[in-house]
Amino acid sequence: MATKNPKSKQAWQRMLSGRRLDILNPSPLDIEIEDIAHGLSRVARWNGQTSGPHAFTVAQHSVLVVDIMGKLTENLSPQDLVVGLLHDAPEYVIGDLISPFKRAVGADYKTLEDSLMAAIHLRFTLPAKPTQKLQKLIKKADTTAAHLEAINLAGFHYDDAVLAFGPLPEVPLPQVSSLNPNQAKELFLDRFQELTNF
């Protein structure tokens, strides 16, 4: 009786583009921006626990982060903003786990996420690892976006949001409301095209 090779595990997902992305060993050649946009526009932030007629998606959150980055710092390069737009891109494959669950899952999840992010960066000719300064800016914009989402969509009182995310920066901030998945996908793709047509 033949034995199966343990290295022959099937760990790929077929995308709507027809690409087959190996989740354990992702190839940049199997990554398409349309697949990322489609997936992120159907992944709900806050496990779907938001008000409004539609879930607030990771695609919308990603555009919100880019908008906030532009409010926090002037003269960012288009490449820096693309890195910001794609900061949660692995979630088009692995979903958006809430932070408490990520901590419970541990290092294996982070390793998988980092591997996918490295392939995504390579696919779009972005630096393998953003500078520490850019990482800090994206983190601040991401936290600010979460604060805005918390008080506008997820039922947080302002004081609770401050405890969880810190105070909001004193800059003009965008309005937050949910779009339907198709609108969220188009918003994400439009912003990607705007930032990469240079």
| Confidence bin at 4 (pLDDT 50/70/90) | very low
Q: Is the pTM of this model over 0.85?
A: yes
What's the CATH code, domain 27-196? 1.10.3210.10
Q: Residue 123 contacts by C-beta under 8 Å, 6 or more apart in sequence?
A: 28, 29, 31
Burial 14-50 (b: 16+ CB within 10 A, else e): ebeeebebeeeebeeebbbbebbbbbbbbbbbbeeeb
For the chain, domain boundaries: 27-196
Convert the pLDDT of each residue in 120-161 to its tens digit: 999 999 998 999 999 999 999 999 999 999 999 999 999 999
Convert the pLDDT of each residue in 63-77 to its tens digit: 999 999 999 999 999
